[in-house]
Structure 1
Amino acid sequence: MITVKTHIEISAPIQVCFDLARDIDIHTKTVWKHTKEKAIMGAASEPIGLGQTVTFEATHFLVRQRLSSKITEYQEPFLFVDEMQKGAFKSLRHVHEFKQLVGKTLMTDTLYFEAPFGMIGKAVERLILKKYMQKFLEHRNQQLKILIEER
C-alpha cells in the first residue's frame, strides 16, 4: 500500500475550505483538465456528506474509467474520509483534514491506495502511481486554493 500526503495553507476560514472541498461541482473544475473528469452518479452537484456516494468518470493513462466513492467518516468542519467502493484500484482511502490557523486553514490530504495485480501492481505503485497521484492532489489542491481565495 502506498501513502501520499499533501499540505496546503488557504487564506480562508475552516468552514469555507471544508464545504468547498466537498463540493462535487468544484471538484471537477479543479482537477487536471485533460482527464475530462465529471460526476456521473450520486451526489453529482452538491457538497457530499456522510454516507453519500459519487461516481466520477475520468481519463487516466489514456483509459476512460469510473471510480465510485463513499463518505465513510465525517467530522464537520475538521475531517471527511472517502473510500473507493468500485474502481481501478484494489483499495483507495482519502483522508481530508482541516485545521484552523490564524487567518487561514491548513488542509491536509492523505491518500492510501493499493493497485491490483499482485507484484506487478506493487511495481506500478512505486514506479508510476505514487508520483502521479502526488501531482494530481497537489494540482487539485492548488486550484482549490486559488478558487477559494478569489471569492
Structure 2
Amino acid sequence: MIRFEKTTVIDAPIERCFDLARSVDVHLVANVHSGEQALAVGGITSGLTGLGQQVTWRAKHFGFWHDLTSEVTLLEPPFHLQVTMIKGIFRSMQADHIFRVLPTGATEMKDIYAIAAPLPILGPTAEFLFLRRYMLALVRERNAVIKRIAESAEWPHYLTAVETKRKDVLQ
C-alpha cells in the first residue's frame, strides 16, 4: 500500500475551496487528459458530491479504460471530505481532503491518499516502480486546477447554484 500527502495553499475562502474540491465538474476539468467521464450508473454526474453520494468515473490510464466508483464517506464542511473507492481497479483507495484557514486568510488544502494496487504479488512492485509517482502527478494536476479556478473569476461558473442555495437557506 502506498500513502502520500500533498499540501496546496490557495488564496481563496475555505468554503469555496472545499466546494470546488467536491465538484464533479472541476474533477472532470482536472482530468481532461485521461478522457475522464462521470457515468450515469446510479450516482451523480455533475454538481457537488454529498455524504453517501457516489460517482462512477471512466478514464484511460496506462492505455486502458478503467471504471472506478467512489463514495463520499465523510463530509464535515468546510474542513474535511473523505472519498473511498467502493469498486474499481485498486484493492483499496481512500482520499482525505482536509482544509484549514491560514493566518494570511489563504486556505490550506491537504490531501492524504492511501492506495493498494491490485494483484497481491505484483501490486507492491507496481506501487514501488510507478504508482506513487503517477498518482501524485494526478493529484498535483487536480490541485493546480482547483487553485486556478478558486483564485480566478471562473469559480462562480462551478458554484453559482451552491451559493444560491446557501443564500436561500440563510434567508
Structure 2-normalised TM-score?
A: 0.85
Runs (4+) off by over 4 Å: none
**Larger proportion of strand:** 1
In the alignment, which of 108, 115, 118 is matched to residue 117 of structure 2? Answer: 115
Partner in structure 2 of residue 53 of structure 1: 54
1:7-27 Cα offsets, whole Å, 9 max, x none, are 000000000000111110111
In the alignment, is the contact (CA less than 8 A) between 1:9 and 1:106 conserved in 2? yes
Q: Unaligned regions of 5+ residues in structure 2, if any?
A: 154-171
Question: Matches of residues 73-88 of structure 1 in structure 2 within 5 Å?
Answer: 73-88=74-89
Aligned to 1:16: 16
Query: Distance between the aligned counterparts of 1:4 and 1:43, measured in 2?
Result: 28
Structure 2 partner of 1:128 = 130
2:165 equivalent in structure 1: none
Residue deviations 1:35-91 (CA, integer Å, cap 9, x gap): 011111312111101010000000000001100000111111000100001000000
Question: Does the Cα contact within 8 Å between 2:39 and 2:45 map onto a contact in 1?
Answer: yes
Q: CA deviation at 1:109?
A: 0.5
Query: RMSD value over aligned CA atoms?
Result: 0.8
Question: Aligned to 2:121, what secondary structure does the other structure show?
Answer: helix
1:5 counterpart = 2:14: no
Is residue 103 of structure 1 aligned with residue 102 of structure 2?
no
Distance 1:26 1:34 in 2: 13
Give the Cα separation in 2 of the matches to 1:126 and 1:81: 25
Percent identical pairs in the alignment equals 38
Q: Distance in 2 between matches of 1:4 and 1:117?
A: 20
Which runs of 5 or more residues in structure 1 are unaligned?
A: none
- Give the secondary-structure state (helix, strand or coil) at the position aligned to 2:45: coil
* Alignment coverage as a number of residue pairs: 150
Largest Rg, 1 or 2? 2
Query: Is the contact made by 2:26 and 2:145 (CA closer than 8 Å) also made in structure 1?
Result: no
Question: After the TM superposition, which of the residue ranges 35-44 and 121-130 deviates more from structure 2?
Answer: 35-44
Return the letter of the residue paired with 1:13. P
Confirm or deny: 8 A CA contact 1:4 1:133 kept in the other structure.
Answer: no
SS of the equivalent of 1:119 reads coil
Determine the C-alpha separation between the residues in 1 that align with 2:56 and 2:4. Answer: 22
C-alpha deviation, 1:108, in angstroms: 0.6
